[in-house]
Amino acid sequence: MPAIKFDPELCASCETVDCLMKCQYIEFAGISDAKAEKLKINAGENSRVLNECLTCYACQEYCPFGNNPFYLLVELQEKKGILPAPKPIVEEQLRMMSPKGRITRQKVRSPVVNMCAFPMLTGCVRGKLFEGASVISGNDIFCNIMWLHFAKNSVIRDRVPKMIDNIMSFYLKDSKIDEMVCFHDECYGTYTSVAEAFGISVPFKPIHLFDYINRRLNEIPDLIKPINEKIAYQRPCSNRLSPETDKILDDIFIKIGAERVPRKHDRENALCCGGVPRAQQRDELADELVEKNISDMLSTGAKYCVFNCPFCMATLGQEVAEHGLMPILVSDLVLIALGE
Ligand code: SF4
Ligand code: SF4
């Protein structure tokens, strides 16, 4: 089992300790305090960070050296049995999200769009935007990145290679296709960042949804009717694993005439939607995060609240709607601009 890719020397000489100093959920007295905690983690020792971490993934983005601080932290949480959620919840999730063995061989054609464990969203793949697409989904190709929230790197190591094998053997290989669009950027984060850090090989090319949409809009510019609306974007935790794609989203919004309003809690300062602490039964924190997100969005005068993650939308969508903003997925917003 390969260890998480990580260079302790980089941390030893790191002057900013951005991974912890920028954390929005844990307070440090200063850089030396944060560094002391980080060095404890690197040495496999107890650190209060292991208990206080919200598992928001953000330190993966904050580290300027790509030194995988969050994956390493989860590794130690699991080793020490520090579970961010009550054990029965973790066990229930493990059963619920396990591979079901119900996958069947299917001929597919490009673009192949992976909906992960959200088959109920298959209807989003429609219109000129996804013309000719094949859709694949289900627990047998679930990306399994969620275990980072539950101190279960071992499940990622066990299940992700099986999911990759299923994607290849049941869909891509026989159809001679070597790339796959990830509708959910959790999948993209799994097949790029997680796979690289965990030493898992990926035989296909993962395409981020934003990259696919942006390229498709370049092919059909005459169909775009700018929507000329202000939108508040709810950036998901998994986007911390592919921050370069956030810039592609800006391009998409410009193309469809959507103004991404400057929110306090967007981009690097994005806040968790509240779904993860809710799943971990930390309801007070979940309520606080929902309230902070909603009041931040309301202060911008946006008409839409745009989500990239279906789980964030399930968590915040109703609250957002009750406060007068229209919740919508990125792909559906683009479909509106295409008149569909
Ligand atoms: S993980 Fe990155 S930011 Fe954190 S101490 Fe190490 S090198 Fe610095
Ligand atoms: S995952 Fe989030 S809460 Fe945990 S240490 Fe990193 S930035 Fe802080």
Determine the structural domain holding residue 62 and report its residue range: 8-80
Give the ligand with the smallest distance to the CA of 27. 2
The confidence band for 199, taking pLDDT boundaries of 50, 70 and 90, is: very high
Q: Would you tell me how many other CB atoms lie within 10 Å of the CB of residue 87? A: 10
**3 belongs to a structural domain:** no
Tokens 């990830």, located at residue? 182
Q: Are residues 147 and 205 in the same domain?
A: yes
**Buried/exposed 24-54: b ≥16 CB within 10 Å, e otherwise:** ebbebeeeeebbebbbbbbeeeebebbeebb
Counting the structural domains of the chain, the total is: 3
Q: Is the CB of 72 under 6 A from ligand 1?
A: no
What is the whole-number distance in angstroms between the Cα of residue 67 and the centre of ligand 1?
A: 6
Q: Is 32 part of a structural domain of the chain?
A: yes
CA pair distance 332, 46, nearest whole angstrom: 45
Q: What is the pLDDT of residue 143?
A: 98
DSSP reduced 3-state for 17: coil
Within a domain: 308: yes
In 3-state terms, what secondary structure has residue 274? Answer: coil
Cα 23 to Cα 19: distance, rounded to the nearest angstrom? 7
54 in the same domain as 15: yes
Ligand 2 centroid–CA 53 distance in Å is 5
| Residues 102 and 193 both lie in one domain | yes
**Mind listing the pLDDT tens digit for each residue in 98-154?**
998 999 999 999 999 999 999 999 999 999 999 999 999 999 999 999 999 999 999
Domain boundary among 49, 80, 111: 80
| pTM reported for the whole predicted model | 0.97
The answer to whether the CB of 293 falls within 8 A of the CB of 316 is yes
**Rg (alpha carbons) of the chain, rounded to whole number:** 20
Closest Cα to atom 6 of ligand 2: 59
- Burial of 229 by CB count in 10 Å (0-12 exposed, 13-18 middle, 19+ buried)? middle
DSSP 192-235: IIIHHHHT----SEEEEHHHHHHHHHHH-GGG-----EEEEEE-
129 Cα–ligand 2 center, Å: 36
Q: Are residues 200 and 234 in the same domain?
A: no
- Among residues 50, 80, 110, the one where a domain terminates is 80
pLDDT band at 1, cuts 50/70/90? confident
Ligand closest to CA 270: 2
Same domain, 231 and 269: yes
Percent of the chain with pLDDT over 90: 98
Shortest-distance Cα residue to atom 7 of ligand 1: 11
Q: What CATH number corresponds to the domain at position 136?
A: 3.40.50
Listed residues 80, 110, 131: the one ending a domain: 80
Q: Collapse the DSSP code of 328 into the 3-class scheme (helix H, G, I; strand E, B; otherwise coil) and give the result.
A: strand
67 and 12 co-located in one domain: yes
Per residue in 29-50, pLDDT (tens digit) is 999 999 999 999 999 999 999 9
* Residue 73 CB less than 6 A away from ligand 1: no
Residue 312: give its domain's CATH number: 3.40.50.1860
What does the alpha-carbon distance between residue 84 and residue 81 come to, in Å, rounded to a whole number? Answer: 9
The reply to whether 112 and 73 lie within a common domain is no
Closest-lying ligand 1 atom to the alpha carbon of residue 6:
1
Residue 39 domain flag: yes
Is residue 232 predicted with pLDDT exceeding 80? Answer: yes
Looking at residue 280, what is its pLDDT? 86
Tell me, yes or no, whether 114 lies in a domain: yes
Distance CA(150)–CA(92), nearest Å, equals: 12
279 and 85 Cβ atoms separated by less than 8 Å: yes
pLDDT above 90: residue 82? yes
